[in-house]
Structure 1
């Protein structure tokens, strides 16, 4: 009895350190336990397999099987399930299948979770027929599918373009007295939304409510994001108001989803009212929330307020991410402080951040608007992720500055290379040539662009 209690304590310590990401301490606990006469058991090694698989690699996790053999132990289904799950997380699907075969060769009987993970692998490989066969395997071996089995099926069918079949499966399961929980509804609603079946998703939400299930923030936020993505902003905002009016659990993620959508369409005042409501309600702010609020402050031209959000992030110990830095750069550029924006971009690089193309494009655009084309071009040439926005910005600003020759040559060069230039930038060059009296050049340029577009098809 005491030995069992000691092993339970050992395993709990190992589990805690693995969960905290401290494998070194977990190994130290095992060594100390051996010195005290408490030997690791299968649970101990399974905990290590999961820890090494999650934090290091599939190879490191598999090596634990060798240590089990040295200790005179055989791996069980939990050991292999952890290894298969690790391979699936790292998208090493062939490894997952090989591990499953090895498990069978060693006479370790798979359980429902073994087949659930394989089902997920087949869906990720876009092999829905093979994935569905895993359900048949579960039933043929006399096992009972668990709710997660059906969640994986519904999600996988939706992701593979079979949203109607997923909905049909859901209806069939309900007829067979399967009682879906809110997680299953969330999976179905998310899949239907991503498939563009917003009406069916809305009906699923109503059904969830009618069944007495407590829809959570994930349910409503999923619906909101889908309405926003479909450019149906008012419907998305109605979902938000409905969620609040019914007293459902609500958090900063929902507010930030709405704020982000409003900012994209330029509804700054409405976004600001949501910000005030968010702060008044005492919503706990995370990094995403601060980034959204900073973005709003910058769009309002309130750089001092944005600085306050930065200070508050620092007091909470939140570290900037690349999006935070991009917001800062863009805010400085829009305020006309292009040199400060450029310096912040350089600081990002020196601090180990990969400067995003959005941040660099913002600075290049600011330099172009300030007429500093030599510096803008040097930044463009040093930039790894040049895209259509990079070149479109240069073409547009060159034409607006009256440097039509340079704008025309750059536009032609991009056309030859198959780089898409935004219509507004292209039209700015053509309009500039026509206003300057070079109608013939404008016609030749338009003809050349069409020619290069045709040969690139």
Structure 2
């Protein structure tokens, strides 16, 4: 074989492409560009695969604009961009939420005579759904069906998009219709539909699809079961939620810390502390290593039970596990100390948070403000309010509400007016409490002024 031949050149370009792909995966795009230049210098010319690899890398690691500039380089080299070139650009635009850019690229692809494939249409449908244009996505889907380009991925995109845009009934109808025509759903199909049904609070349909999922030969994972279980708890169907837990364990499915915490949190919110503790025991006996979310859930449980010493011990355990407490962790502690009436301890813990570099924790301060008011320490609550560096609508609502409880209606009206001047809003029930309270103590003119101020605030943007 001579030194140069078409076969040898083709082999060299293939080796070049393997090298470029490896460098791009390692995020060494500058080196990949150097290799291309060196290859051209010795007669190894890049092809469409070479440039498409570059486009994909630039989309993922640099920017869409830089990736788009590669198209011009391809044309200068006499290599027309193909459908893969545009698919990479469109997909990259969708990943970066540049949805309008994705649609423009699709239009450009058509204008340049590049025929879209099934992947192109799937990406286009995703973009339209994310833009809140389900009708246009449906039109693309119908066109894809007529051309016979539909894949299982296309159905998944359509069902997922319909669910996320609130068209759960349409998604379920499409799912059933596809089943009648022989379509075999995938794991992604089931998960998307179950998630959509749960968010729409259609628990019965979600459980039915979950049962079909288990009978299909596929294995529902922890996320699938947890999704339905959360739906049960949110809808107040606690027994059914616990049944999901039991079913999953009996079937031998992996039950992670997140799923356990979902159950425990639901039990805590409904005051079922004994059952929450039982779930904790099951979690520990299962060998699940707690993460920060798990610890926060346990701390919350102990604080609600008044077991502050146990809660504080968990802070040490978190450090021993190599984890770092977040603001939520410390906020739970502050709230627990306040509810136990230990306001000095709560203030000390707030100061301790500042030493840890968390900055100003408005939620924790709001918890303390509310606890002081409810405990009857309204003067201390007012002083705390005055020294607070940051306030929000909840801060004002908490203080106004507690001032009304203490029948300090004039003070409450002053705080309410200052709140409105700052552009915040207080709950309407609290506003009414102030007005009714002022009238009850004979300050009808003041009540009228406050009412007028509230009306004016509604018209001020």
Specify the alignment match of 1:20 in structure 2.
none
Contact 1:333 1:362 in 2 (8 A): yes
Contact 2:126 2:157 in 1 (8 A): yes
Q: Partners in 2 of 1:52 and 1:321 — Cα distance?
A: 36
Which stretch shifts more, 66-75 or 89-98?
66-75
The alpha-carbon deviation at position 34 of structure 1 amounts to 6.1
Contact 2:87 2:120 in 1 (8 A): yes
Specify the alignment match of 1:261 in structure 2.
266
Specify the alignment match of 2:110 in structure 1.
104
C-alpha offsets along residues 337-359 of structure 1, whole Å, 9 cap, x if unaligned?
Answer: 232343255457x55x7x56534
Specify the alignment match of 1:271 in structure 2.
276
Which stretch shifts more, 260-269 or 309-318?
309-318
| Match among 12, 18, 22 for residue 22 of structure 2 | 12
C-alpha offsets along residues 257-292 of structure 1, whole Å, 9 cap, x if unaligned?
Answer: 112222222323322222222122112434433333
Structure 2: any 5+ residue segments left out of the alignment? 1-10
The alpha-carbon deviation at position 377 of structure 1 amounts to 2.9
The alpha-carbon deviation at position 391 of structure 1 amounts to 1.8
CA 1:439–1:398 in structure 2 vs 1: closer, same or farther (change >3 Å)?
closer
Specify the alignment match of 1:439 in structure 2.
440
Aligned length: 437
CA 1:42–1:321 in structure 2 vs 1: closer, same or farther (change >3 Å)?
farther
Specify the alignment match of 2:59 in structure 1.
53
Specify the alignment match of 1:146 in structure 2.
151
Higher CA-based Rg? 2
Contact 2:369 2:381 in 1 (8 A): no
Specify the alignment match of 1:342 in structure 2.
350
Q: Does residue 1:191 correspond to 2:196, yes or no?
A: yes
CA 1:307–1:215 in structure 2 vs 1: closer, same or farther (change >3 Å)?
same
The alpha-carbon deviation at position 216 of structure 1 amounts to 1.7
CA 1:101–1:209 in structure 2 vs 1: closer, same or farther (change >3 Å)?
same
Structure 1: any 5+ residue segments left out of the alignment? 18-22
Q: Does residue 1:223 correspond to 2:232, yes or no?
A: no
Q: Partners in 2 of 1:276 and 1:167 — Cα distance?
A: 38
The alpha-carbon deviation at position 323 of structure 1 amounts to 3.6
Specify the alignment match of 2:140 in structure 1.
134
The alpha-carbon deviation at position 324 of structure 1 amounts to 4.0
Specify the alignment match of 2:390 in structure 1.
382
CA 1:308–1:454 in structure 2 vs 1: closer, same or farther (change >3 Å)?
same
Q: Which residues of 2 match residues 54-453 of structure 1 at below 5 A?
A: 54-65=60-71, 73-143=79-149, 145-314=150-319, 317-331=322-336, 333-334=338-339, 336=342, 337-344=345-352, 346-347=354-355, 350-351=357-358, 357-366=362-371, 371-379=380-388, 382-383=390-391, 386-387=392-393, 389-399=394-404, 403-411=408-416, 419-421=425-427, 423=429, 439-441=440-442
Q: Partners in 2 of 1:231 and 1:110 — Cα distance?
A: 48
> 3-state DSSP class of the match of 1:262?
helix
Contact 1:418 1:452 in 2 (8 A): no
C-alpha offsets along residues 174-217 of structure 1, whole Å, 9 cap, x if unaligned?
Answer: 01100112221111111122223222222212222233332221
The alpha-carbon deviation at position 45 of structure 1 amounts to 4.9
CA 1:328–1:32 in structure 2 vs 1: closer, same or farther (change >3 Å)?
farther
The alpha-carbon deviation at position 54 of structure 1 amounts to 4.0
C-alpha offsets along residues 384-405 of structure 1, whole Å, 9 cap, x if unaligned?
Answer: xx12x32221123334556443
| Match among 9, 27, 30 for residue 27 of structure 1 | 30
Contact 1:367 1:375 in 2 (8 A): no
CA 1:49–1:358 in structure 2 vs 1: closer, same or farther (change >3 Å)?
farther
The alpha-carbon deviation at position 443 of structure 1 amounts to 7.8
The alpha-carbon deviation at position 256 of structure 1 amounts to 1.6
Q: Partners in 1 of 2:52 and 2:157 — Cα distance?
A: 24
The alpha-carbon deviation at position 152 of structure 1 amounts to 1.8
CA 1:327–1:440 in structure 2 vs 1: closer, same or farther (change >3 Å)?
closer
Contact 1:338 1:367 in 2 (8 A): no
C-alpha offsets along residues 50-84 of structure 1, whole Å, 9 cap, x if unaligned?
Answer: 45434554334434545656776544333322321
Q: Partners in 1 of 2:95 and 2:68 — Cα distance?
A: 15
C-alpha offsets along residues 355-390 of structure 1, whole Å, 9 cap, x if unaligned?
Answer: 5653442244356565142332332x633xx12x32
What TM-score do you get using the length of structure 2 for normalisation? 0.79
What TM-score do you get using the length of structure 1 for normalisation? 0.80
